[in-house]
Structure formats: C-alpha cells, structure tokens
Structure 1
C-alpha cells in the first residue's frame, strides 16, 4: 500500500481519464489543489461543461480509487468548471465537441420531442447546447420550444439563430429550423440537392458559437439527410427513438442499419411512450407493449439508453410550446430524461476512453 501523501494522492488523480478527451486528467490540467490532513484528503477537480451530466460518476470513480489505495481515508472532492474550447468540426466553421443525430425509422414516435428534450436536459446540466431541426419537410422544434421569429444575418454574413433564453443562469441555446424561414401553412417541396444545400447552410453558415453538443433532429425514415450529414461533418453518434410495439421496432431496425451504412456510430436506443403511469391510481399501463426496444437493442448489439413514459405534463407542454419551462421546473418529468442523457454521455465517454487520443487545444 502506498504511503498517504499529497504526492501519491495526486498521482492517482492525475492518472484518471477525463471523460471528454480520454486523456489522463493530470495531463489536461484538471487536478487543482491537493491537501492531506491526517486521514482526510481534500482535492479540487476541474471538469468541462461537456462532462457535467456525469460529474457524479467521475466523483464516485475518484473516491473509489483513493479509498482502495488508502483504506479508511475520508475523501472530500470539490469540482469546478474546467474551460476547454471546442474545435472546428471537419471543414466547417461549426465548433462543437459532439454532434449527435436523433432519428427514427418512422414518424409518430415522438422523435422531435425526444431530441428537444435531450437538448434541454443537457442545458439543465450546464452544457453549452445547440439544437438544429433537420426535419425540413415537417419542422416541429419551434412549436415545441415556443420560439418564433426570423433569423437575421451577422456582420460576417452568417445566420443568427433564434436563441432560447430564460431568467436562469444557464447559457442560452441557439436553435435553427426551417420553421423559422417558411410560413407554418406553407409546404416545403424540395428535391435532394436543395435539401443537401439547406442542411449544409444550417451547419456551416449558422453562428452557433462554441458548443459542447449540437443535437440534430432528423427527419423520419431513411432518406437523404443522413447521407448529407455523414458527408458534411464527423458525427459523434446517433440516438434512435422508437416505441415498444413491433411495427415501430421494425422501422427502428432500418434506422440503425441506415446509420451504420453511412458510418454514423449508434449511441443507443430510446423507447418512447414506454408505459403510462396513471396519475390517479398510480398503476402503469403498457399501452404499446413492454420492453420491445430493450430486447431489440440487445439483439442488434446497441446500447439501450432508457425508456420515457407517457407523461401528460410533457405532452401538454409540447403542444403549448412550454417544453423548456416544464423540463426546467418539474423534477419528476425531467427524471427519465436525465437518466437517458447521462447514459448517452457515458457511452460517449467510454468510446473516448477506448479511442486514440484526439489533439486538443491548450487549456485557457
């Protein structure tokens, strides 16, 4: 057993891998002060906003390592924000650490609500998030978020997205959608080249700022958008949304096959409408079946990120354009979304730990 000292404690903390980069935290400048007083260890740890959803995991892992090395010690870890700039994604001007597509094999499974809810939940954790509505033919993100207006242009001739803001200390969330550019009653009738051009403009010509995550709400089905995205930028991964019944699972399988065919990693599956918890009697009714997505995920060697029950509050909030307010204020409604979001970030972290280290910019 090593001798308990500031030096030995720091060695253990330094060697722990940062979930965002996969590099040792010491090499990234994330270990601050370390003090040893008797059998008590006090240390300050820096964690980037990208990893905020799994900060509790990092804390637990570090505490376990220290207790295993020095049995009987008391560990007090204090976390602070570790600033790390986002690099450019591919050859675009977009600066985001993780670009994630949320798709489904068919419409009507709540994909847009899930995409918006994941973005809002990441924001609640303190991440810098952007939300791009790539469902050009049926944009619903503006309605779900209660946003309207028409994007302007910056001095550099780039598109200024519509910003989701509130009275909290959370960073504003840039949102871009075809719904801001066309009349709600107007149909978008485009062939592939026009669709391709609009997606590239949304990605590369929008003033997204520096993002931890850009969440992209995909159109339903297996059309041109996934191919366009795979050619335009390297995506960190995709999330496939389905409902428990077999007919939806069959289409989810096609969505997974599509993402794999264009070399977009699958981060996992989300089972939406996963049971209805009756607010009057407390009984759960499996209206669309039970566990279908989990079984299909196991069958296809895909992570199961979790299930989202039918929640009347969220349904009403989406219809009324109050989804951000309900997710921010209702812990019960946000609970399943937090679990799914954390599972998604854990999957990213495990892949970062297994992948060769990426070049990073110097710490500011």
Structure 2
C-alpha cells in the first residue's frame, strides 16, 4: 500500500499559478485525474483554453513539484488543451460546429481592428485551436487581402446550399469579398447588410471550430445589432488607440455590448508607442495609458498594448500577418499572449456554466 499523501500531491500541484486563469489549476477546475501506483504518480491536467506552446513547460514544472513530495519516486504529468463552448447571450441557439464566437469590435475606424482580428485568429491557431475568421465588414471587407488569398477567390459550394470556407495559414475564412468583384462597392441599406451577414455566418459549413473570430465593422449600427440579437456571441474584444477621441468611441462599443449582455473579454490598445527606427527614441504619439484606464474603468483585462509599427502594417498588407510572417518576434509574442488571455476568459465562462468537474483519485 502506498504511503503517498494525496493532499500533499494536490498541494504540490497548487504551487503553480496559471498566469492566464489567475489561479492554481485545481481551483480553476483543470485537474482531471490523479493515479497513484506504489511510488509513481500520474496526473491528468486539462487546460480549457488553447495554449499548446505552454503545455510542455507546465508539465515539467508540475513534475518537479510532485516528485518533491515525500515517497514519490516518479511523476508523469499529462497536460492537454480542450476548448469547450461557453454560454452566449440570452437563449440564442448555438451555431453548429462552432464552440465560441469572438466579436472583435471598435467604436471608430482606423484603430487597427482588422489587423488585431486576423492576428488574434492566427495566434489562437498557433496555440493548437481550430479557428475560423468571418469578415463581417460587408462594406469594406479586408480579410482575404490580409490572409494572402487571391482577389478572385471564390468559396466552393456544398449540396448547392452551403459555402466551403477557403483556408489560409491554417484558418478558415469567409468574407463578402469572395462573393462580389473586388472593385464593386456594396451599396446596400441596413436590412440587406444584416441579411448578408447572417447568410455568411449560417450558410458556411464551418469545420468544427473552437473559435470563430468575427471582424466587425466600426461603430454601433445595424450589423452590431444583428449580431447581438441573432448570433450566439461568447464575448467581445474592444480595439482602441490611446487617443481620447478613440477612447470615447470605444466606451460606446463597450456600453453597447453590456446592454445586450455580451461580455467584454478585454481591451486591445493599438499604436500605444512609436520607436524611431533611426535613433530609437520612444514617443507616445496618440497619448499614453488610455487603454489601461479604459480596461480598469470597466473591470476587464488590458489584453495587449501594441506598438505603432510599420512591420505590422506591411505584413498584413502583404498577406502574411506578423504572427505567421515572424512568429518568434516580440510583436508576435504579444499577440500570442493576447490570444491566451482571450481563451482563458472564455474558459472561465465555460467552467462557470458547467460547474466543477469530478476528480478521480485512486490507488492501483
């Protein structure tokens, strides 16, 4: 009979504080199983958010902690990521084959919303998630260009009624740009635009997505209202710049999502600082600390504070956004960190909705 104290193993596991869930993995409900076989211990950990780049490191740290427990000779820690569906607003029926829908929105144009949306999607995919992107900016679709898809890209048709989303850099993409000529403006009234959004969303055969990132048009108009009333949105990411005018519009966006019971997952501050490529001098061209103050005001995370960088713009325009163009650079690391924060906020909501899982502890 083993003399290993199970509570000691739990205490050892609790030493690791997950920086994204902001607590230990047991409190967060990530412990799935503890098996004790003589002096050997096997632990199963299940993160609820996409973090494939972290699992090996977490497993190693937990292994060291468990093997430090008295009488434990060897420990095997298995850490995997399993994304579950979090609740959406109201009683809106879930979208088939899509677990979580993330709306990326801004109160005004020109703050880098689409660039944030595409890099968020690619970062989630790099963390091991199945990801799609819906370009909901019907009047000015840009996702195809940013993801390097040719101008004449058209979706395949399945069963004469469903679109098969083209793929780029490992993500599924659907955009109004795939259905009209690139030089033809969409001159539609609000109801037509809302109808087009719903068709793109519901008539696309999404392939078992963990996350669908929706690039919203700027503002708080018809498409935003349609999204709130008819689409099961898990949460929203608000994009702004530190500029006071942009922050005022970002507040309107947050208030809109609050009124329709869509949780705001956090704030992304773009163009926070500019570093001169010639002399290295740093300047806050659009103000300083605005995103942080906005996040603090509404009690949400500041998901990222991005620099004003020519590289980000050039790579997005060239069809290879930063996360895939230079995956190991500092800016890509910020996007990866942002993606893990977004995933963790969704995981918290999924855990709260489902309740804590059962934990199995046994002697063999």
TM-score, normalised to structure 2, is: 0.80
Q: Which residue of 2 aligns with 1:348?
A: 346
* 1:151 corresponds to 2:149: no
Q: Which residue of 1 aligns with 2:310?
A: 312
Q: Which residue of 2 aligns with 1:110?
A: 112
Matches within 5 A, 1:1-364: 4=4, 9=9, 24-25=29-30, 30-31=32-33, 37=39, 41=41, 43-47=43-47, 50=50, 52=52, 55=55, 70=69, 78-79=77-78, 81=80, 90-91=92-93, 93-148=95-150, 149-155=153-159, 157-165=161-169, 172-323=170-321, 326-327=324-325, 329-357=327-355
TM-score, normalised to structure 1, is: 0.80
Equivalent pair of 2:51/2:127 in contact (CA under 8 Å): no
1:116-168 deviation line (CA, Å, top 9, x unaligned): 01001111111110000000011111111111311121136211111114xxx
**Offset at 1:115?**
0.4
Equivalent pair of 1:88/1:96 in contact (CA under 8 Å): no
CA RMSD of aligned residues (A): 3.8
1:189-245 deviation line (CA, Å, top 9, x unaligned): 112221221111122110111011000000000011122112223211000000011
Local SS of the residue matching 1:299: helix
**Offset at 1:265?**
0.8
Q: Which residue of 1 aligns with 2:362?
A: none
Local SS of the residue matching 1:305: strand
Local SS of the residue matching 2:233: coil
Q: Which residue of 2 aligns with 1:168?
A: none
- Residues of 2 paired with 1:97 and 1:36: CA distance? 40
**Offset at 1:329?**
3.4
Local SS of the residue matching 2:307: strand
Are the structure 2 counterparts of residues 86 and 153 from structure 1 closer, same or farther at C-alpha, using a change threshold of 3 Å?
farther
Gaps of 5+ in 2: 358-364
- Residues of 2 paired with 1:112 and 1:44: CA distance? 38
Structure 1 window deviating more from structure 2 (107-116 vs 323-332): it is 323-332
- Residues of 2 paired with 1:73 and 1:280: CA distance? 57
Structure 1 window deviating more from structure 2 (71-80 vs 208-217): it is 71-80
